[in-house]
Amino acid sequence: MATRTPSAPKGTTKSRSGSSTGRTGTGRSASSKAAPARHQSAGSGDQPWLIRALASAYLGLAHGAGAGIRRIGRDVSGMDPGIRRDGAALFNLLLAVFIATFAWWGLNGALPALVASVVNGTFGWMTYLLPLMLATCGIRLFRHPEDTRSNNRIGIGFIIMTIAGCGLAHVIGGQPSPFDGFEGVRRAGGMVGFLVGSPLAAVHPAVPMVLYTFLAFTSVLVVTATPFTAIPRRIREAYEHLMGMDLEREPVDGHDRSYLYEHDPKPAKAPRKRRLFGKDADAAEKSVDGYAGDEAFEHAVVDDDDAAGAVRKPSVPAVPAGVRRPTQSEMARERIKERQGLGAGQSQDDTATQAIPAVTPTTVFAAPVPEEPAQKAPIPAPIPQRTEQLSLAGDVTYTLPNADALVAGTVPRERTEANDAVVAALTDTLNQFNVDAAVTGFSRGPTVTRYEIELAPGTKVERVTALSKNIAYAVASSDVRILSPIPGKSAIGIEIPNTDRETVSLGDVLRSQNARRTEHPMVMGVGKDVEGGFVVANLAKMPHLLVAGATGAGKSSFVNSMITSILMRSTPDEVRMVMVDPKRVELTAYEGVPHLITPIITNPKKAAEALQWVVREMDARYDDLANYGFKHIDDFNKAVRAGKVVPPPDSKRVIKPYPYLLVIVDELADLMMVAPRDVEDSIVRITQLARAAGIHLVLATQRPSVDVVTGLIKANVPSRMAFATSSVTDSRVVLDQPGAEKLIGQGDALFLPMGASKPMRVQGAWVSESEIHKVVEHVKGQLSVTYRDDVAAEAPKKQIDDDIGDDLDLLLQATELVVTTQFGSTSMLQRKLRVGFAKAGRLMDLMESRGVVGPSEGSKARDVLVKPDDLAAVLATIRGDDAQSVPDSSAQALADNANANHQMGDYGVDLVQQDLDNRTQAVDYGVDLVQQDLDNRTQAVDYGDDDDGGEDAWQLTGR
């Protein structure tokens, strides 16, 4: 007996924890069936029948009361019987009623009088509040027994409230002592009040007053799950709720995906808890100024924390009126029972199922698809247009674009005939292969719908996953993706593309609650997830992002959405951008926006230089952070705005806040082809350090191969956005896992923000060219762009001679080499530039045609016709620049360099001469080997041993 007793609660706990993850699997039913069986075997032989009968009657009464209470308000009666705690709940409720009979209603009688004197004597005035607290606990236990954390929190809150109330009552009631008679104690704080109040009151009566008032206030916060920081918001919400203002303002920016899950309290509850208590509880409320600590450990995605609340308000009821919709678990159980030949509600312990009028999943799926003509989504409550006084970019007033510059998308549909057809096809496939599982629901996203399959107990997950090809065949789609399980659910997810897909408008995403929740300027609209929830992400928390996918998959559209989001939400004081667009056409629409610090860079070589500038900027920011003792640019900016950062007295510098710097590269491959080492070095340096400096990189590429996205780059760019890739290898390069090759293009993506273990499937937001144009015109009208001249701005387009073609860079290097060394040797070019003989000869010819070297003289080195002082001008001419435009400083630098090299050359020749002399001396002393060597070398110097002679002499100068 003693050993068996704990086993019963164990079974109960197991089943309860199962439910706390929101699972509704049939495994729980099995455990709940097992629990009563254990009770029976333990107790049947030992307990008198009367006790068993009474216990059964009490439990029956409790379940009856529970069933009624669970139906009041929002119906939660679909609860698994295994997790109910009706017995304890009824006990609380009965105790509340009992105490209320004498405390509130003054019922007389021997028993009430006795209990009254005990309860009153213990709790004093607080006796009047006890029924309320007990009733609250009872009702919660009836309705949400699985939410143990909240239940415990409320219980603890009530205990603190009782102690604080008794302590206060004791002091207010005149600090009676039980030694003077119990009547006084009863009329004050009871014995509890006396015990907790009198020691403190002995010090001074104000001490318990202050302490217990504070404790009472705290207990209210604990019970209502309100953190201190959220008190003003809670008060405002309560006021608005009382005045009915929240209803008027409720935005219609989402739609209800919960019709299949409406009895499952989890989706609504869990996020709420996170909002109130989680580490990221108030992250949403943080603006730039609200930065607290190291944001790297916060996640990039702005939480959909009331996904089942405000964001997803019911829009289209999917089931005919009057028919209660079954929950997932009900549907799974019913389907599985149907297969096993049981009728609905035949399970003995399943009172909830019995209570369902013959509703089966087919009722849900067979209900006619509601008529939903494609409509425009209603524009929710307008976002007030923000106007800022800029300080960095001149003293101007800057107004952000109006939210209606971006159009509303179409109303998303929850269910169409296509979905019903797929459900039927999936069910048939499962039947054909005798897999004991049922399609229990689906959630329709804009591009794909995720169908959920629950297994009967004892059915292997592999039986469904092994059917992937048959499922693809049945639904006539090759892009079927299986999730086993769906994260956070005991169900297998099968994602199948919608034949009638919808476009997600960026306007809708930016107007969603998730985007409104934060004013952070780096927040961008990403799109919608598979459940139709809006996904917005904070670029500052990513902190760097790799966007990859095959051509036409939607990268550029994503980059457009990102830039438009920034233009919509931030001023040039808050965010500055560097755009690199080697494709030359993707980002031209943004030319001239005041957020740019340099014209859009289209030349890959210049882009590599711009990245080096970013490294310098980062170093400068770091210097400031180190000098003034800050760890993050947000803290530094805050201090600057508060006037706490003052430059040294002798400095003329005016310290201003640093804006975030967003560097966007729309085709990394082009940069990596030009200067792989420089680009990689810069990217790695930026990504390793720039987060604290407020510098963030977004690298897009259609060639996610290892030579473009190198291991080093990958290791330092933690967030990834993978659009459809052409191979599983590419998917692995981007996400470190397969999956992206199964995406269906046109904005369908897997989003893996930093820290997430599983990528989230999203349909990227779409912004049309006319919308972009409207937004760009608005921002350009607010402020004209001022470019920084120290970034590698692109030079005007140059005329490169046709005969140079792709060899411009090599020709420039060759010219520099020949002029600085004053030595026109082809072999030297071969070795120094690592080119073949043919290429070196061609470079020599090109130099001859431009008057850099003289004509070929057989095997001798050519004459060099350009003096080092003229090098800059010659290089400019070859480049196609106007020679006059070469800045004096750089011409001088080049000339100095060339002269230095030249001198070096002279010095080298001296060394050779010296060497020669030494060796000649050595010959005089008759050392044969040296003589031989000297002969060889002298021969080499005088006559050369190949076409241009003297090359080894040159080589010696280099030593």
- Binding site as annotated, residues for ATP: 549-556
Sole window of 101-109, 380-388, 546-554, 654-662 interacting with ligand ATP (rule: CB under 6 A): 546-554
**Closest CB 508 distance from ligand ATP, rounded Å:** 12
Give the DSSP H/E element, type plus range, for residue 806. Answer: none
Q: For residue 848, what is the DSSP state?
A: H
Q: Which is nearer to ligand ATP, 267 or 497 (CB)?
A: 497
Strands 523-529 and 545-548: unpaired
Q: How many binding residues for ligand ATP (CB under 6 A)?
A: 15
For residue 307, the tally of other CB atoms under 10 A from its CB is 24
Residue 378 in the binding site for ligand ATP (CB under 6 A): no
**Closest CB 271 distance from ligand ATP, rounded Å:** 26
Sole window of 411-419, 547-555, 768-776, 788-796 interacting with ligand ATP (rule: CB under 6 A): 547-555
Residue in the block written with tokens 């070095």: 681
Tokens of 200: 């403190």
**Closest CB 762 distance from ligand ATP, rounded Å:** 9
Structural Rg of the chain based on CA atoms: 39
Would you say 536 and 524 are in contact if contact means Cβ atoms under 8 Å apart?
yes
**Closest CB 525 distance from ligand ATP, rounded Å:** 11
CA–CA dist 532, 498 (Å, integer) = 13
Q: Collapsing DSSP states into helix, strand and coil, what is residue 28? A: helix
Residue of minimal Cβ distance to ligand ATP: 747
**Closest CB 506 distance from ligand ATP, rounded Å:** 9
**Closest CB 759 distance from ligand ATP, rounded Å:** 17
Q: Which is nearer to ligand ATP, 768 or 955 (CB)?
A: 768
Q: Which is nearer to ligand ATP, 552 or 958 (CB)?
A: 552
Tokens of 47: 């307990």
CA–CA dist 799, 658 (Å, integer) = 38
Binding ligand ATP (rule: CB under 6 A), the pick from 412, 543, 764, 949 is 764
Selection from 202, 178, 198, 174 nearest residue 188 by Cα: 174
Q: Which is nearer to ligand ATP, 563 or 811 (CB)?
A: 563
Q: Which long-range contacts (CB under 8 A, 24 or more apart) does 291-297 make?
A: 291/632, 291/634, 291/635, 291/638, 294/631, 294/632, 295/540, 295/541, 295/543, 295/632, 295/691, 296/541, 296/543, 296/691, 296/754, 297/755
Binding ligand ATP (rule: CB under 6 A), the pick from 27, 189, 361, 554 is 554
CA–CA dist 249, 243 (Å, integer) = 12
Binding ligand ATP (rule: CB under 6 A), the pick from 572, 747, 753, 759 is 747
Residue 557 in the binding site for ligand ATP (CB under 6 A): yes
Residue 505 in the binding site for ligand ATP (CB under 6 A): no
For residue 111, the tally of other CB atoms under 10 A from its CB is 10
The C-alpha angle 571, 575, 576, rounded to 5 degrees, equals 110
- Name residue 658's amino acid: Y
Q: Which is nearer to ligand ATP, 142 or 723 (CB)?
A: 723
Strands 545-548 and 719-723: parallel
**Closest CB 374 distance from ligand ATP, rounded Å:** 15
Q: Which is nearer to ligand ATP, 81 or 764 (CB)?
A: 764
Q: Collapsing DSSP states into helix, strand and coil, what is residue 339? A: helix
**Closest CB 383 distance from ligand ATP, rounded Å:** 22
**Closest CB 764 distance from ligand ATP, rounded Å:** 4
- Name residue 749's amino acid: A
**Closest CB 445 distance from ligand ATP, rounded Å:** 13
**Closest CB 746 distance from ligand ATP, rounded Å:** 4
Binding ligand ATP (rule: CB under 6 A), the pick from 24, 175, 556, 731 is 556
Query: Which string of DSSP letters, residue by residue, matches 778-800?
Result: HHHHH------TTS-PPPPP---
Residue 555 in the binding site for ligand ATP (CB under 6 A): yes
Strands 760-764 and 748-752: antiparallel
Q: Which is nearer to ligand ATP, 419 or 746 (CB)?
A: 746
Residue 136 in the binding site for ligand ATP (CB under 6 A): no
- Name residue 874's amino acid: V
Q: Which is nearer to ligand ATP, 587 or 814 (CB)?
A: 587
Sole window of 92-100, 340-348, 549-557, 564-572 interacting with ligand ATP (rule: CB under 6 A): 549-557
Query: Which string of DSSP letters, residue by residue, matches 256-297?
Result: --GGGSTT--HHHHHHHHHHHHSTTTTGGG--GGG--S-GGG
Binding ligand ATP (rule: CB under 6 A), the pick from 78, 549, 659, 949 is 549
Q: Which residues carry a binding-site annotation?
A: 549-556
Sign, CA torsion 927/933/938/941? negative
Residue 766 in the binding site for ligand ATP (CB under 6 A): yes
For residue 157, the tally of other CB atoms under 10 A from its CB is 19
Instruction: Tell me the per-residue interface mask from 885 to 914 with ligand ATP, x by CB under 6 A, - otherwise.
Output: ------------------------------
Residue 507 in the binding site for ligand ATP (CB under 6 A): no
Sole window of 398-406, 537-545, 555-563, 876-884 interacting with ligand ATP (rule: CB under 6 A): 555-563
Q: Collapsing DSSP states into helix, strand and coil, what is residue 427? A: helix
Q: Which is nearer to ligand ATP, 83 or 526 (CB)?
A: 526
Give the DSSP H/E element, type plus range, for residue 603. Answer: none
Residue 725 in the binding site for ligand ATP (CB under 6 A): no
Sole window of 126-134, 181-189, 356-364, 553-561 interacting with ligand ATP (rule: CB under 6 A): 553-561
Binding ligand ATP (rule: CB under 6 A), the pick from 440, 725, 746, 820 is 746
Residue 55 vs residues 46, 83, 84, 580: alpha-carbon distances, Å: 14, 18, 16, 75
**Closest CB 723 distance from ligand ATP, rounded Å:** 6
Q: Which is nearer to ligand ATP, 173 or 445 (CB)?
A: 445
Residue 795 vs residues 13, 807, 830, 939: alpha-carbon distances, Å: 71, 19, 30, 49
**Closest CB 700 distance from ligand ATP, rounded Å:** 8
Residue 552 in the binding site for ligand ATP (CB under 6 A): yes
Which residues in 837-896 contact ligand ATP (CB under 6 A)? none
Q: Collapsing DSSP states into helix, strand and coil, what is residue 608? A: helix
**Closest CB 428 distance from ligand ATP, rounded Å:** 32
Strand order, beta sheet including 492-497: 437-444, 448-455, 492-497, 481-483
Q: Which is nearer to ligand ATP, 595 or 703 (CB)?
A: 703
Residue 702 in the binding site for ligand ATP (CB under 6 A): yes
Query: Which string of DSSP letters, residue by residue, matches 396-409?
Result: -EEEPPPGGGS---
Binding ligand ATP (rule: CB under 6 A), the pick from 168, 332, 539, 553 is 553
Strands 523-529 and 534-538: antiparallel
Residue 445 in the binding site for ligand ATP (CB under 6 A): no
Residue numbers at the binding site for ligand ATP (CB under 6 A): 503, 549, 551-557, 702, 723, 746-747, 764, 766
